[in-house]
Amino acid sequence: MFVLMARKAGPNEESRERSRTQLLQAGAELLLDQAEQAPFSALRLRSLCRQASLSTGAFYVHWANLEEYYNDLARHLTEEDELAFKADFDTLAGIAEEDTDHDALAAVTRLAERDLRLLTANPLWDAMELVALTWGRANFRDQLVSGYATIDRRTGQIYGAALSKRGREPRPPLDWDGIGAILQALAEGLGLRHKVDPAAPPPSLESTFDLYAIAASALLAVLTRPTGADNATVTEAIRGLLNDSAADPTSSASS
């Protein structure tokens, strides 16, 4: 009768596990290196022309070779990124300007839901994120910084327009540009998650868009204040909310 004995983790097994981890880490590093050096290597001339419904001759009217095309494509996806979102921002600005029938929460919720839907539906957004995370940050960093600043400013202006008419202003030391940067970072993070896992939100929420609306509203409730109402900074306001159980609407119900 044979008895199977549990295998002990000895030096050889530890060495195998260590080498496996090293090889996986090396693969991750090389993957990033390749993406930074040649993110457009999968693009081929005939495929590009087929996608654009143009001849190869039309391509050579503009570029002498693919390397020149790659440079222009990267520039298009970095220097001109704010132009790709102009129509989306115009739509959001129109909503913020025309919406006079809702309170602050309803107005922000309506804006936020539409904001994330427009972002994730924009056909250029995925490509822009890919370039920004790889080749762009090494070769077009200044253009990316400028593009992000423009997008942050536009975002802050739109949400600021909706809240200013309802008597709210940025809480010190923030301004609308800073608030726009925070909202934009949140939208991009949830947008990327939505692309991978659209079912990610908790069961109580209908979609990622609802989750963003709740998060954006909560942030704006803390990052803004009634105009001239108090002198508390953002840090002081957050500390007060987190440390004061009386501010929790559920505290009275549980006592």
More confident residue, 123 or 167: 167
Q: What is the mean pLDDT of residues 160-177?
A: 96
- Tell me what pLDDT residue 36 has: 67
Residue 217 CA: distances (Å) to CA of 22, 66, 87, 203, 214:
44, 46, 23, 20, 5
The answer to whether residue 192 scores a pLDDT higher than 50 is yes
Alpha carbon distance 243, 240 (integer Å): 5
pLDDT band at 132 (very low <50, low <70, confident <90, very high): confident
Q: Are 39 and 131 in contact (CB under 8 A)?
A: yes
Taking each helix axis from N to C terminus, what angle separates 86-98 and 104-121, rounded to the nearest 10 degrees?
Answer: 160
- Amino acid identity, position 249: P
pLDDT band at 91 (very low <50, low <70, confident <90, very high): very high
- Tell me what pLDDT residue 203 has: 58
CATH architecture of 63-241: Orthogonal Bundle (1.10)
Alpha carbon distance 235, 156 (integer Å): 20
What percent of the chain has pLDDT above 90? 43
The answer to whether residue 244 scores a pLDDT higher than 50 is yes
The answer to whether residue 7 scores a pLDDT higher than 60 is no
Compute CA 24 distance to the chain's CA centroid, rounded to the nearest angstrom: 27
CA torsion through residues 157, 161, 164, 166, sign:
negative
pLDDT band at 201 (very low <50, low <70, confident <90, very high): low
The answer to whether residue 58 scores a pLDDT higher than 90 is yes
More confident residue, 167 or 83: 167
Q: What is the DSSP string of 139-190?
A: HSHHHHHHHHHHHHHHHHHHHHHHHHTTTEEEPTT--HHHHHHHHHHHHHHH
Which range in 149-158, 206-215, 228-237 is most confidently predicted, on average pLDDT? 149-158
pLDDT band at 204 (very low <50, low <70, confident <90, very high): low
Q: Quote the tokens at residue 64.
A: 């002498």
What percent of the chain has pLDDT above 70? 83
- Tell me what pLDDT residue 249 has: 46
Q: Are 103 and 166 in contact (CB under 8 A)?
A: yes
Residue 231 makes CB contacts below 8 A (sequence gap 6+) with: 172
The answer to whether residue 4 scores a pLDDT higher than 50 is no
For 136, counting Cβ atoms within 10 Å of its Cβ (0-12 exposed, 13-18 middle, 19+ buried), the class is buried
pTM of the prediction? 0.77
Residue 166 CA: distances (Å) to CA of 113, 159, 174:
19, 11, 18
Q: Are 85 and 151 in contact (CB under 8 A)?
A: yes
What's the mean pLDDT when you consider all of the chain? 83
Partner residues linked to 250 by β-bridges: none
- Tell me what pLDDT residue 80 has: 64
More confident residue, 187 or 197: 187
